[in-house]
Amino acid sequence: MVLSGAGISTESGIPDYRGPDGIRRSQDPMTFAEFSRSAEGRRRYWARSHLGWRRIATAAPNAGHRAVAALQQLGVVGPVVTQNVDRLHQAGGATDVLDLHGTLDVVVCLDCGRRCSRSDLETRLQAANPGFDALVSEVGRVNPDGDVDLDDDVVVGFELVGCRACTTGRLKPDVVFFGESVPRPRVAECYRRLDEAGALLVLGSSLTVMSGYRFVRHAAKHGYPVVIVNQGRTRGDGEATLHVWAPLGASLTELVRRLEAATVGAPAAATT
């Protein structure tokens, strides 16, 4: 089973939260408590995310994503559990992808539970905030959760929109915010897939948060091999069978090339 983190999307122009040294970058993510309790918190999030969404929506899968899909096709890896919310694994051709933290392209109402597409919400936000999109040229760094840095004096004038169904509902991207729990059935399914696979390949994750690290602990507890490919220290280094410090795109592409070369002309039994 593959467990991927933000590091696999950096070559698509989406930075991770930590550098190669494992130190957190300056921008802290929105917490669920602040978002759900504070209208100003939601205003700040949606103003920044409204601009950052274009970068996420137009990001293309990179060599690492395509290599994971190729490894699936070769039968080397099975399901992909990703901590990312950008759906780039699917865009890169991977199948059987479990979005552990949800996806940014779906929006949910915290009050009535109705879901809608992110594109529908973006159209409504654009209509409610004419001229705001002009700021997109000033956008710099986009965080893995799709928001950008904006000054408070810019955020204060941003108009929110409510749920189409209940009119006043609080809208939230259908992703797991910091301080929020991954749904238990989703976690249980990931454990089941890991037990079926009997081995874990971690790609581009520092494993700092428990939502991903628990699968490394589970694998180590059951004696499953754990291979980590990440340019930096990780929380799971002590449990890893092997930690490869290498760029994901280049190293995974080379792995695919070697596997394809090894299987060309090989007898079916040997290939298996």
Query: What letter represents residue 241's amino acid?
Result: T
Joined together, the tokens standing for residue 269 give 């039994």
CA-nearest of 115, 81, 114, 110 to 98 is 81
Q: Is 166 annotated as a binding residue?
A: yes
Pairing of strands 226-229, 115-117: unpaired
Cα torsion angle, 246, 249, 252, 258, sign: negative
Q: Is 112 annotated as a binding residue?
A: yes
Question: What does the alpha-carbon distance between residue 17 and residue 28 come to, in Å, rounded to a whole number?
Answer: 8
State yes or no: is 218 an active-site residue: no
Q: Is 116 annotated as a binding residue?
A: no
**Phi, psi at residue 97, to the nearest 5°?**
-100, 130
- Cβ 149 vs Cβ 141: under 8 Å: yes
Q: How many CB atoms neighbour CB 146 within 10 A?
A: 25
Question: What does the alpha-carbon distance between residue 119 and residue 217 come to, in Å, rounded to a whole number?
Answer: 38
Secondary structure E strands in the chain: 2-4, 80-82, 97-99, 102-109, 115-117, 171-175, 200-203, 226-229, 242-244
Q: Is 163 annotated as a binding residue?
A: yes
Question: What does the alpha-carbon distance between residue 209 and residue 169 come to, in Å, rounded to a whole number?
Answer: 30
Question: What does the alpha-carbon distance between residue 184 and residue 204 come to, in Å, rounded to a whole number?
Answer: 24
Active site residue: 101, 218, 222, 243, which one? 101
- Cβ 174 vs Cβ 101: under 8 Å: no
> Binding site for Zn(2+): residue ranges?
109, 112, 163, 166
**What positions carry a catalytic annotation?**
101
> Binding site: residue ranges?
109, 112, 163, 166
